[in-house]
Amino acid sequence: MKYTTQMDAARKGITTPQMEAVSRKEMISVEEIRRLMAEGKIIIPANKNHKSLEPEGVGQGLRTKINVNLGISKDCCDFELELEKVKKAIALKAEAIMDLSSYGKTQQFRQSLVEMSSAMIGTVPVYDAVGFYDKELSKITAREFLDVAEKHAKDGVDFMTIHAGINRATAERFKKNKRLTNIVSRGGSLIFAWMEITGNENPFFEYYDELLDIFEQYDVTISLGDACRPGSINDSTDASQVEELIVLGELTKRAWDRNVQVMVEGPGHMAINEIAANMIMEKRLCHGAPFYVLGPLVTDVAPGYDHITSAIGGAIAAANGADFLCYVTPAEHLRLPDLEDMKEGIIASKIAAHAADIAKGIKGAREWDFKMSDARMRLDWEGMFGLAIDGEKARRYRESSKPEFEDSCSMCGKMCAMRNVNKVLKGESISIL
């Protein structure tokens, strides 16, 4: 039996190789994977033209996944450096990479990325449009925006952020309800500016059905972008954010009617006490579609440390229903991240994702921690390094300050609790001095 997309296959009762791969990784039956995919609660972004992909599932009951942003820009157009970041992100086991390229040889970079990446690839076509056509935003036509999306689909991109929720009505709501930080989504601001300058409707909203034709043909997952995400804790959960979310819920159902897989993007900056309610609201308004969040960043005053503010919010968000975390690096709000920034962002996001998976009761999550605790109890340093999220750093710290006795560390020495209790329980004597 033929199928057009992973969702179409699920609804027809067909098990695809991608579903089987996700079932093995997640230790969940393929029947359960297929059922939740048919309902839109799990997605497997897998473009038909992405041949090097190792499929991952995103959604209900699955491990929380993380995404890494990179790409070339006018100020930082080092093609090779960005490809080095790709290799590092894959080595660190990021499940997704978003190419945010907006200048120069964007298609060449995108094609290289898809060819080499086992991780799923996302893009934001509106970023690419200005550079690709080499003309001012106001001169780009609605047709040209759609054509860029089609080029990305042909190149093998697995999911695309499409800012279709900021239509003329949403824009008017934004203008009537003043914000401290206005619109901080780059893609959202470009679409808003285009609508204001041209007087036209958002092309991704007006021609949404044509966009779905493209996504269905290549099995691209639509990531419904949150143009009105809050850029400060002052603006969270306001009229603009909520109205856009309602529109995204409607667009979700229209995509599902065409068997196009959907995830929905969310905030942004948000105080800790608002996060859980926002996760519930998204799941209700968007009918259980997987939720992809940037942060949320729980405070606005930590530039240089926003990987931490993001990880705090991400852990709370994922524990309350978010399925996919977009990493934030220490360079957020300041500059393009370098390799070390990227690593710090990935590690922080992976910690947040795993902490949430423990809370959600995801299969195998606690067992990882149990193994680490057992290695600690046995003072098995190699075992600890092998289990650590960043074993390289753990080993470096250990080797930088060697203790007198190998069965301890330089913090406690012979007062090591693990060492002494182990000895006492074995009937051995201990010497502290």
**Torsional class of 412: left (φ above 0), alpha (ψ -120 to 50), beta (otherwise):** alpha
**Strands 221-224 and 159-162, bridge-based pairing:** parallel
Q: Is the N-terminal amide bond of 403 cis, ω within 30° of 0?
A: no
Within 12-141, residue ranges assigned H as helices are 17-26, 30-38, 79-91, 106-116, 125-133
* 266, 282 Cβ separation under 8 angstroms: yes
Please name the helix (run of DSSP H) or strand (run of DSSP E) that holds residue 228, with its range, or none: none
Instruction: Please tell me whether 227 is known to bind a ligand.
Output: yes
Please name the helix (run of DSSP H) or strand (run of DSSP E) that holds residue 59, with its range, or none: strand 58-59
Instruction: Please tell me whether 76 is known to bind a ligand.
Output: no
Instruction: Please tell me whether 23 is known to bind a ligand.
Output: no
Instruction: Please tell me whether 367 is known to bind a ligand.
Output: no
**Whole-angstrom distance, CA of residue 295 vs CA of residue 12:** 36
Instruction: Please tell me whether 333 is known to bind a ligand.
Output: yes
Instruction: Please tell me whether 307 is known to bind a ligand.
Output: no
Please name the helix (run of DSSP H) or strand (run of DSSP E) that holds residue 393, with its range, or none: helix 391-400
Q: Token match 């934030």: residue?
A: 328
**Whole-angstrom distance, CA of residue 411 vs CA of residue 394:** 14
**Whole-angstrom distance, CA of residue 127 vs CA of residue 194:** 13
Instruction: Please tell me whether 265 is known to bind a ligand.
Output: yes
Instruction: Please tell me whether 226 is known to bind a ligand.
Output: yes
Instruction: Please tell me whether 186 is known to bind a ligand.
Output: yes
Distance of CA 245 to the CA centre of its chain: 18
Instruction: Please tell me whether 416 is known to bind a ligand.
Output: yes
**Strands 120-123 and 96-99, bridge-based pairing:** parallel
Burial environment of residue 261 by CB neighbours within 10 A (0 to 12, 13 to 18, 19 or more): buried
Instruction: Please tell me whether 185 is known to bind a ligand.
Output: yes
* 122, 96 Cβ separation under 8 angstroms: yes
Instruction: Please tell me whether 56 is known to bind a ligand.
Output: no
Q: Which two tokens stand for residue 16?
A: 């695809």
- First and final CA of the chain: distance in angstroms? 75
Distance of CA 155 to the CA centre of its chain: 21
Instruction: Please tell me whether 292 is known to bind a ligand.
Output: yes
**Is residue 263 helix, strand or coil?**
strand
**Whole-angstrom distance, CA of residue 210 vs CA of residue 404:** 69
* 278, 294 Cβ separation under 8 angstroms: no
Instruction: Please tell me whether 168 is known to bind a ligand.
Output: no
Binding-site positions for [4Fe-4S] cluster read: 409, 412, 416
Binding-site positions read: 69, 98, 127, 163, 185-187, 226-229, 265, 269, 292, 333, 409, 412, 416
Binding-site positions for substrate read: 69, 98, 127, 163, 185-187, 226-229, 265, 292
Binding-site positions for Zn(2+) read: 269, 333
